[in-house]
Amino acid sequence: MSTLDHKIDFAVVLSVTKANPNGDPLNGNRPRQNYDGKGEISDVAIKRKIRNRLLDMGEPVFVQSDDRRNDSFKSLRDRADSNPELAKMLKDKSASSDSFAQIACEQWVDVRSFGQVFAFKGSQLSVGVRGPVSIHTATSIDPIDIVSTQITKSVNSVTGEKRSSDTMGMKHRVDFGVYVFKGSINTQLAEKTGFTNEDAEKIKQALITLFENDSSSARPDGSMEVHKVYWWEHTSKLGQYSSAKVHRSLNIQSKLDTPTSFEDYSIELFELDGLNVEEIDGQ
């Protein structure tokens, strides 16, 4: 496998229909919004979904959520200690941070993609890895309307004389919104972590199928959909254009005052001389 030898930029256009794409725990789990009223999905939430898709592909992932983990380790420290070399280094003050990072990057695809901080209580070694894949926060094209619904339960939590419908709380959703997020893959950092051209292809496939096996009460199947993935591959390590200029070449606007479907939006892609873009439909 060959280390990534050219810069890559990408953008993903997705829609949300009657779902909560990313609840804010500091605001009663309401869908995230910025001060302009536009919806947001944090980069952390997007990376979580990418990691889940990589797990579904059979790739070794270091940061696994409890509901999706495919091993018996209950913490990141346990998973790090599963590698005898890493476990030994964590107990040795004189161990090489670079050697630790190299072994971790070779073992786990998300470490060599996104980076990772290895700092555990009681360990003698603390290591930070910077990853080549950077992802922006997803932002909706237009301000979103949030619908809040009070929910109750129809069974008692504990045995009692009466059957009651106790108020459980609130559920929030976005009726409809089109969001876009952008990202880049840096070749200098790819060389340090060993991120390969094959790894870039895996990231691309994860973006195309981002919401597969991601359903929940807040995000029912079919409520989150990837419509387009734009994938720019430069011809050099530094790239012919800055990532900002590449991302600005994608322009998305609503054609109606109150859009209710993806077809109510127009997408315009401005061509940049010498830079090819692959336009992929979501699955």
User: Tokens 């237009």 label which residue?
Assistant: 142
pLDDT in tens, 3-49: 999 999 999 999 999 999 999 999 999 999 999 999 999 999 999 99
| Separation CA 245–CA 196 (nearest Å) | 25
CB 277, CB 241: distance < 8 Å: no
CA distances from 117 to 84, 95, 189 (A): 19, 16, 15
What's this model's pTM, rounded to 2 decimal places? 0.93
pLDDT in tens, 46-72: 999 999 999 999 999 999 999 889 899
b/e sequence 104-116, b meaning 16+ C-beta within 10 Å: bbebbbbbbbbbb
